Structure 1
Amino acid sequence: METIIYVGGLYAGGVRGMAKTAKNIRKAALRQIPKPLADRTVFYHLRGGIDYEKLSFKHRMMMKMLYEQVKKQPVGEQDADTRAMIETYGQKVSFVDLACLDNIVKKLEGYPA
């Protein structure tokens, strides 16, 4: 069994760099890989952070449009991620939790070296 660990930032619903990586290793995620492979793929979501001051103009505008859209949602329809985005919009914030790596390490310990 082949083990591939890919780490990429999530941007507008896509994993940054995944397409380029997929060309090099002939594998990707979700819509980009055959179902038999997707069925054997384990995904872990590791939250990062955002610093609006460091975003490019294009990305700031994308985030502004997303913010304007989601803040119109009724509070009862907002999930925790949406509420966090609304509350922290325009700020520098980190959601990094290194303890989330524990599950990945445990999974990898079961694979042969």
Structure 2
Amino acid sequence: MKTVIIYKSKTGFTKKYAQWIAEALSADVFDATKVDIDMIKQYDNIIYGGSLYAAGITGLKFITKNFDKLKDKKLVIFATGASPSSQRVIDEVVSKNFTSEQQKYIKFFYFRGGFDYKKLNFFDKFLMNLLKLKIKSKAKDKLTKDEIGMLSIYDRPTDFSLRKNIDVIVSYLQG
């Protein structure tokens, strides 16, 4: 079975996971900007990885707009984010990114990545500053765990990625 990993990474965490998966599966790996549908259709297993952006998976449109051409393949999507994994996060991401039809064909995984403010582009820095101001304006006793966590890592690069996290994808594709 021929496997490809395609990824879109803003700060490097998704790319890191994509490369680890490629090594573990002896698969080809490509930045999403360097692929087209004809290139991808030759693979049996297609893995797409993107970072989360307001619960949306960056670059996922490549897969969703070509879904009818890919649904007969084994489709795996993973997303990376700074938040710890929880069923609530996974359910929100799945419902926001995939139709009920797509959910029948796509296996989704979430991996905790990290946060590095310095690697964000100008617009993302602007949005993150707005988020930080919004969180800081709340009363301390009204902050969620995620908000407290975000404030604690905001000013320093933080990497939560672990190579062992990819084992679920590797097992899924080999099983």
Q: Shorter chain as normaliser: what TM range?
A: 0.7 to 0.9
Unaligned ranges ≥5, structure 1: none
Q: Tell me by how many angstroms 1:105 deviates.
A: 1.3
Q: By percentage of residues, which structure has more strand? A: 2
1:21 matches 2:63: yes
1:7 matches 2:24: no
Task: From the superposition, tell whether residues 99 and 83 of structure 1 become closer, same or farther in structure 2 (CA, over 3 Å).
Answer: farther
Q: 1:60-75 alignment to 2 at 5 Å?
A: 60-71=125-136, 72=138, 74-75=140-141
Looking at structure 2, the residues matched to 77 and 95 of structure 1 have their Cα atoms a distance apart, in angstroms, of 22
- Give the letter aligned to residue 99 of structure 1: K
Looking at structure 1, the residues matched to 63 and 104 of structure 2 have their Cα atoms a distance apart, in angstroms, of 19
- Give the letter aligned to residue 101 of structure 1: I
Task: From the superposition, tell whether residues 89 and 20 of structure 1 become closer, same or farther in structure 2 (CA, over 3 Å).
Answer: same
Give the paired residue count. Answer: 108
Looking at structure 1, the residues matched to 115 and 96 of structure 2 have their Cα atoms a distance apart, in angstroms, of 26
The root-mean-square deviation of aligned C-alpha atoms, in Å, is: 2.7
Q: Tell me by how many angstroms 1:57 deviates.
A: 1.6
Fraction of identical pairs, as percent: 31
Unaligned ranges ≥5, structure 2: 1-43, 72-76, 78-93
Q: Tell me by how many angstroms 1:23 deviates.
A: 1.8
* Paired residue secondary structure (2:107): coil
Q: Which has the higher contact order (CA 8 A, sep 6+)?
A: 1
Length-normalised TM-score, structure 2: 0.51
Length-normalised TM-score, structure 1: 0.74
